Amino acid sequence: MKTSAEFRLARVDGQCLAWHLKRNCSITPVQLAMLYGSLCAVSLSIGLFFWWQGAWFVFGFAGLELLAVGTAFLVYARHAADRETVSLDGGTLIVEREAGGRVERMEFGCAWGVSIAPSARRGGLIEIAGQGKRVDVGRHVRPEARPALVREMTVALRAASGTAPGR
């Protein structure tokens, strides 16, 4: 197996190469929950103050506001941990995709003709195909970085399957 210096985008761990493709997340779900809790405390305090002053409708609008913001935060947090992992371990290429908490896993035997190429169908994603299976990856990679990722994965796949680069 090649050294980590030869693979710019992959992590090398012994005989295993792994490409971890994940969303660029500016705030974690835990930080988001803390932010939402503090927002609830402030909004409900203001709402309670006005309710105590006789303007009860302010408290109702504060509740609606928190419900709407909470829904938006929940949708964001559900997909904040989305990721794709492509790993090459021995003669097996493993693709794991997590979206919204649901994990899909596909395995390809390198000796059985796996191809990695830019996909023409789904907005320029990377298509991995072989043994009658097909999966698109690269949703969390900038489009201009995808060709370099395809080249690196192809070189690693050829090295693992023992085929010459010209084949």
pLDDT digits (tens, 9 = 90+) for 36-79: 999 999 999 999 999 999 999 999 999 999 999 999 998 888 88
19 and 93 inside one domain: yes
13 and 43 inside one domain: no
Q: What pLDDT is stored for residue 122 in this prediction?
A: 60
Whether 16 maps to a domain, the answer reads: yes
φ, ψ (nearest 5 deg) of residue 122: -105, 65
Whether 166 maps to a domain, the answer reads: no
Whether 153 maps to a domain, the answer reads: yes
The Cβ-side half-sphere exposure at 42, using a 13 Å CA radius, reads 7
Residue 111: partners with Cβ closer than 8 Å, 6 or more residues away: 91, 161
Whether 146 maps to a domain, the answer reads: yes
* Least confident stretch, 83-92, 95-104, 108-117: 108-117
139 and 112 inside one domain: yes
Reading the block at residue 30, the tokens are: 């835990």
Alpha helices in the chain (DSSP H): 29-52, 56-79, 146-161
Higher pLDDT, 3 or 50: 50
118 and 62 inside one domain: no
Task: Tell me which H or E stretch contains 20.
Answer: strand 16-22
Whether 33 maps to a domain, the answer reads: yes
Higher pLDDT, 135 or 77: 135
Q: Give me the chain's average pLDDT, please.
A: 86
Residue 131 structural domain? 4-24+82-161
Q: What pLDDT is stored for residue 64 in this prediction?
A: 96
8 and 54 inside one domain: no
Q: What pLDDT is stored for residue 79 in this prediction?
A: 85
66 and 125 inside one domain: no
Q: What pLDDT is stored for residue 34 in this prediction?
A: 95
97 and 139 inside one domain: yes
| pLDDT average, residue stretch 21-35 | 86
- Quick check: 121 pLDDT over 80? no
Q: What pLDDT is stored for residue 100 in this prediction?
A: 85
Q: Which of 79, 96, 119 is the last residue of a domain?
A: 79
106 and 135 inside one domain: yes
12 and 94 inside one domain: yes
56 and 136 inside one domain: no
